[in-house]
Structure 1
Amino acid sequence: MKYMATYDLMESIRNTNEWFGASAQAFASYPVFALSMNPFLPVMAAWGKVTERSFERMAAKPDWGIRSIVGPDGQDHLVDEKIVIRRPFGDLVQFFVRRREPMARRILLVAPMSGHYATLLRSTVQSLLPDADLWVTDWHNARDIPVSEGRFDIEDYTLYIADFLKELGPDTHVIAICQPVPLVLAATAWLAKQDPAAQPRSLTLMGGPVDPDAAATEVTDFGRRVSMGQLEQTMIQRVGFKYKGAGRQVYPGLLQLAGFISMNAERHARAFSDQIMREARGEASDHDGHNRFYDEYLAVMDMTAEFYLSTVERIFKNREIARNVFTLRGERVDIGAITSVAVKIVEGEKDDISAPGQCLAALDLLTGLPESKKARHLEPGAGHYGIFAGKSWRLNIRPLVLDFIDANAGAAEVSPEKARRIRAKTVTPIRLASA
């Protein structure tokens, strides 16, 4: 499987389906057919439109699209995206709110590198931005990274997180979602020994696989069934000539997407068939619920082969974090070294990706942390997506997380002198909202 031809074949299939969709829509929308009462033609045009949009989204990185927020003064404040740290495999991005003084809450939102872009957390960002200064990890698509930039595995990922925390300083509160949870825990433990002053004030760990064996899911079952050799031979491909990362070995986002969809194939099939019928009846729109969700869900990115394989081997198979034997650059990282960082665990009762118990295992590893600094929350009826972006997040989890942050903030407000220092560290925005 590790050939450019295989990667290019997948891209060709995607392109072909996009073309089929566009062709079907154009053909069925031909003006002369308006004289026909054949109900098949509107359905054909609707199928074409939905198909073209779906396959087109698989190759495009979504935009954050956060133009402004309403401030406490009741006025709209424009929002800029600023790169604070630029790295080959991922940037630290600040959502800078114009004409707003630095806020007491400083939050680093660690996005997962698991096949989707950081924009999957758009609604999470929008909900937190009015009440906090916010930074996000923006991971890059491996297909766009030249092979000259070298490797990137889970140890590199962990060091990226540690560097981001050093940059933001000790008044930062971290929210890690899904895949990065065990590595954020490791990065904090690493800082506890290497640079204690750079540790964040709190960690909110949401639905992550700290101990995959604590509760079985299809993801953990797959990890146990398949050997590392089988994974390398069947899942790893080389980026084709179309992209800057030509020749780089990756785990393609399209394969990851196929896995996601297969876990709930019936539900996705029903969602698309319903959308086709809505299009045929003229009831659909560009920004309806289906398109808002699937425009993001279908936008996938490649992971470096070494990151994917090391995640499966070290986090899922060997359970290095769960057994507290994770090593970073040859040195053991002791989770028990965390003694002052408050930690809150958030899980969803119906999470089928990281089942309840997998993330909660982190509290047992924090042997040096007082019980008063540990907290946990199991959200009834919530699935994996719901704990950070759905109804459960909006109505219940978000207020609980902000209360936890406030309870462990240390300082009640940002001093004028510190505010000036923070603003002095901002850099030229990469994208400005229009004035």
Structure 2
Amino acid sequence: MRYMATYDLMESFRNTNQWLGATARTLASYPAFAAMPNPLIGMAAAWGEVTERSFERMVVKPDWGIRSIPCEDGRDHLVEVRTVVEKPFGNLLHFEVTGRPKKPRTILLVAPMSGHYATLLRSTVISLIPDTEVYVTDWHNARDIPVSAGKFDIEDYTLYLVDFMRHLGSETNVIAVCQPAPLTLAATAYLAELDPKAQPRTMTLIGGPIDPDATPTDVTDFGRRVTMGQLEETMIQQVGFKYKGVGRMVYPGLLQLASFMSMNAERHSRAFTDQIFRVSRGEASDHDPHNRFYDEYLAVMDMTAEFYLSTVERIFKNGEIAQNRFVVEGHRVDIGKITDVAVMTVEGANDDISAPGQCVAALDLCTGLPDRLKAQHLEPGAGHYGIFAGKSWRNNIRPLVLSFIDGTSGKTRAAASDAA
């Protein structure tokens, strides 16, 4: 499958389905059909509308859509998304609230590079902006990065996090969501040993596969069953001529989306069928729950082949983070070197992607960290998405994380003094 023709074939399939949806919607809306009332015509128009929108979203990077927030002075303040560090494979963004005094808490929100854009954390960002200065890692779509920019694997990802943390300084509170949790842990350990003045003050790891074998799931079982050769042959393709990254080897976003949806095929099928009926009855809207969710869920990005393959091999198959033998540019990262960064883990009791036990394993790896700087939370009834963007996050987890950040400020300084 590692050919440009295969990549372009998937894009042609997507484009054709978008065209079919647009055609069905347009034909079914032809004025002459109004003289022949027939529910099938309305259903055809509804099917076309849902289909066109769904396939169109797959190649569109969503906007953050955060225009303003109310502040303590009773006024709405504009929010500007500024790029503070620009790199070939990802930028560091700051959500700057104009006219508001700088907040004492600084948070670096590490977004996952797992097929979706950083905007997947939109609701997380919105919930944090009122009380903190929020910075987010904004990873780029690999298909738009020229081959001349070089490779990007998990070691490069880790070094990007190191640079971002250095830029923000030692008062930063890092929150890593899902996939980047093990690499964020490694980046912090890297700084703890080589540049301790640049390490963050606290680190919160949410639903990440620190030790994938601690509680196996379908995701980890898949990584065990399939060989690296099979993955490379079936998942990796070469970007076609349409994009700047022509010739780059990637794990295509469309292929990732097919994998995502196949895991819960019945639920997604029912969701789209119900939406077609709602559109036909005139009950749907541009920003209804279905469109709000799927406009984001269907917007996918390509990952570099080396990042995807090294993640599967080194994090899931070989367990380099779980066994504390991860190497970055020839330097073995020792997680035990973390001695004065407060660490908290958050897991969802119903998480079927990073099951309970996988993330909390980080605390056992931090052998040099005193217990008073460790915390963990298991959220009852919460799935993977809910622990960083749903009701559980808003009502329970977010307050706990902010309390953890505030409550450990004096303890980390004391630990630093003891270490000195």
TM bin (shorter chain)? over 0.9
Gaps of 5+ in 2: 412-420
Provide the rounded CA distance (Å) in 1 between the counterparts of 2:209 and 2:380: 19
- Shift of residue 38 of structure 1? 1.3
Provide the rounded CA distance (Å) in 1 between the counterparts of 2:301 and 2:235: 14
- The SS at the match of 2:80 is strand
Report 1:29-428 matches (<5 A).
29-410=29-410
What TM-score does the superposition give when structure 1 sets the normalisation length?
A: 0.94
Amino acid at match of 1:160: Y
Gaps of 5+ in 1: 412-435
Amino acid at match of 1:62: P
- Shift of residue 101 of structure 1? 1.2
Residue matched to 1:418: none
Provide the rounded CA distance (Å) in 2 between the counterparts of 1:364 and 1:343: 11
Supply the RMSD in Å over aligned alpha carbons.
0.8
1:50-84 CA-to-partner distances (Å, cap 9, x unmatched) read 00000000000000010001111111110111111
Provide the rounded CA distance (Å) in 2 between the counterparts of 1:408 and 1:253: 39
Provide the rounded CA distance (Å) in 1 between the counterparts of 2:76 and 2:366: 42
Amino acid at match of 2:150: G
What TM-score does the superposition give when structure 2 sets the normalisation length?
A: 0.97
- Shift of residue 188 of structure 1? 0.2
Provide the rounded CA distance (Å) in 2 between the counterparts of 1:346 and 1:74: 33
Provide the rounded CA distance (Å) in 2 between the counterparts of 1:238 and 1:152: 15
Residue matched to 1:414: none
Provide the rounded CA distance (Å) in 1 between the counterparts of 2:224 and 2:363: 24
- Shift of residue 410 of structure 1? 4.3
Contact 1:110/1:177, CA 8 A, preserved across alignment:
yes
Q: Which has the higher contact order (CA 8 A, sep 6+)?
A: 1
Provide the rounded CA distance (Å) in 2 between the counterparts of 1:405 and 1:2: 46
Count of paired positions:
411
Structure 1 stretches of 4+ with a deviation exceeding 4 A read none
Contact 1:3/1:238, CA 8 A, preserved across alignment:
yes
Contact 1:192/1:338, CA 8 A, preserved across alignment:
yes
- Shift of residue 408 of structure 1? 2.1
Moved more, 34-43 or 372-381: 34-43
Residue matched to 2:415: none
Residue matched to 1:433: none
Contact 1:105/1:409, CA 8 A, preserved across alignment:
no
1:103-145 CA-to-partner distances (Å, cap 9, x unmatched) read 1110000000000000000000000000000100000000000
Amino acid at match of 1:321: I
Provide the rounded CA distance (Å) in 2 between the counterparts of 1:154 and 1:69: 35
Provide the rounded CA distance (Å) in 2 between the counterparts of 1:25 and 1:187: 50
Amino acid at match of 1:88: P
